[in-house]
Structure 1
Amino acid sequence: MRVKKQKRHRKIVRFYTACYGFRPPFKVLCDGTFVHHLLVNRITPADDALSNVLGSPVKLFTTSCVLAELKNLGRSVSESLDAAQQLLTARCNHENRKRADACILELISENNPEHFFVATQEYDLRKKSLEMPGVPVIYALRNALLLEPPSAIQRAFVKTSEEERSHMNEKEYEMLKKKMKSTLTNEEQNGAFNEGLVDQNLQVQAMTKTRTARKGIDIKDKVQFKRKKAKGPNPLSCLKKKNRENRNSVQVKEKNDENDSVRSRGRKRKRSRGHRKSGESEG
């Protein structure tokens, strides 16, 4: 269940960061009921617990009106008063102290410009803050901290704002009109000059055509590429195959003829006649 809860919280935080511009470290505006609940259920340290819920570092805030309300409650809430005094104080600029919920609603009015996460245990404050666009709500349930999903009002506000961005405003429409008028006046001023240039270009083209016609050169407007013709088969591949037996027999004959010629060309042995002469002299 913890994994599912973390995924759900990440999805909600991603919605507020993408659609309303929330950026870490996130600011959490705590009232007295939330601080008291954290101390009673021993959810400490509070900044670590809230950073685990939102998945990013956190800064905890409260208001002077919340502190004044805790003081009026007496000694029973003295520990929660000491814990609230350690938090950062957001400026509410109320000379006459108001109720804590009214003070917080004024701070988050006008689409929550300071990007506060409202942490409270009061049901009415949670409901009213969810009706305002761009106000995420955190509450505690025993030992667990939960992040409220965005309401239908907040999602509808996002859709309408996206549609307005896609269309032009009145100022943008007027700017576009002025640009169109300026371009049209420039085109009219340059129209005469452009007509003169066109006439000159036509004359130059006529002169070049006459010169090329005299020389007999044909000018073509478009480049004509040579079409590839179908080639015939390779003539070497069409030759008949030679028989290997005749080839071998011819090679054998050539070798025999060569051997015979080598034998016939051998040196003749010369006989010496000195033996005969020696025999005749002895006789």
Structure 2
Amino acid sequence: MRFTKHKRHRKIVRFYTACFGFREPFKVLCDGTFVHHLVSNHLSPDTSVSNALGASVQLFTSKCVIEELKSLGSSHAQSFHAARKDFKLARCEHEEKESAFNCMIEIIGENNPEHFFVATQDMDLRKKCRKIPGVPVLFGLRNAVFVEQLPSFQREYVKAAEERRLHMTDSEQKLLQKRVKSILNAEELKDSSNAEEEIDEEDLRGQVIASREPRKTDAKDKVQFKRKKAKGPNPLSCKKKTTSSSAPNAGKADKTSSDAKRSRPRKRKRSRTDKSSSRTDGASA
């Protein structure tokens, strides 16, 4: 049971931190009924409230709430001393004594700019806070402090605020139209200036081309190209002349080549007639 309670409280606190900008340490504005509940059940204000929210807290009350506890007499004497000792004073602009209900509503305002958690046991004050955007409510039950569940009004307010942020307002739409008109006018001026520059460039090109064209004269046209004259043969394609010094070397080369050829042994060819004649000579002998 305790685990599910803390889980539900963390979810509610996360909703207010994400959607309304609540930050630690959380400010808790307490009225006389809540302070009296804590004192009568012997609960320390700081630890009980911080355990319910799961974060560090700063406890506040108002001057009108303290005066109301003082007026209730001895039955609320301990609550009066605890409120004066353990709670900080929220800014209250009432010069004369005001009821705690009206004082708390004026401190919260229309949209709770100070991001207060309201801790009270008064059912009328709890119902009133449910209709103010961004006001979470705490209440005591026996020896524990609980965070009131998210009312449907808070969820619908957040959805409507998100839709308003997505769409443009009338002032933003007018500014956008002015901006678009200024951009279109600037583009038209650029196009006109570019067209004038192109015309000027074409005129300059025509003048340059006209200046480059030759002037017409009555004289006969001169020969533009010269006739090619006959030239000698290409020296690279001609053979070099042989000198006398190269002749002895050439003879030596021929001799060496002929000697090489002669150095080879010659084979003697013998005919059959020689063999037959040699045989007859031997027989006759």
TM-score higher than 0.5? yes
- Equivalent residue runs for 1:75-224 within 5 Å: 75-86=74-85, 87-195=87-195
Give the AA of the match of 2:68.
E
Write the distance in 2 (CA, Å) between the matches of 1:172 and 1:198: 39
Larger Rg: 2
Preserved CA contact (<8 Å) 2:48 2:144: no
SS in structure 1 opposite 2:118? Answer: strand
The AA in structure 2 aligned to 1:171 is S
Q: Please give the alpha-carbon distance, in whole angstroms, between the structure 2 residues aligned to 1:56 and 1:96.
A: 35
Q: Deviations over 1:219-240 (max 9, x none)?
A: xxxxxxxxxxxxxxxxxxxxxx
1:6 equivalent in alignment to 2:3: no
What is the one-letter code of the residue matched to 1:2? R
Q: What amino acid is aligned across from residue 142 of structure 1 in structure 2?
A: R
SS, match of residue 177 in structure 1: helix
Q: Which runs of 5+ in 1 are unaligned?
A: 205-283
Distance across 2 between alignment mates of 1:43 and 1:128: 26
Q: Please state if 1:47 is matched with 2:39.
A: no
**What TM-score do you get using the length of structure 2 for normalisation?**
0.68
Deviation at 1:39, TM superposition (A): 0.9
Q: CA deviation at 1:197?
A: 6.3
User: Aligned residues: percent identity?
Assistant: 54
Contact 2:108 2:114 in 1 (8 A): yes
What CA deviation, in whole Å up to 9, does each residue of 1:205-261 have, x standing for no partner? xxxxxxxxxxxxxxxxxxxxxxxxxxxxxxxxxxxxxxxxxxxxxxxxxxxxxxxxx
Matched letter for residue 24 of structure 2: P
Give the distance between the partners of 2:107 and 2:17, measured in 1 at CA.
Answer: 19
Aligned residue number for residue 237 of structure 2: none
Deviation, structure 1 residue 161: 0.7
Tell me the secondary structure at the aligned position of residue 118 of structure 1.
Answer: strand
Is the counterpart of residue 56 in structure 1 residue 55 in structure 2? yes
d(CA) in 1 for partners of 2:74, 2:39:
15
Find the counterpart in structure 1 of residue 35 from structure 2.
35
CA distance in 2: counterparts of 1:198 and 1:54, whole angstroms: 73
In the TM superposition, what is the alpha-carbon distance from 1:110 to its structure 2 partner?
1.3
> What secondary structure sits across from 2:114 in the alignment?
coil
- Aligned: 1:71 with 2:73: no
SS at match of 2:83: helix
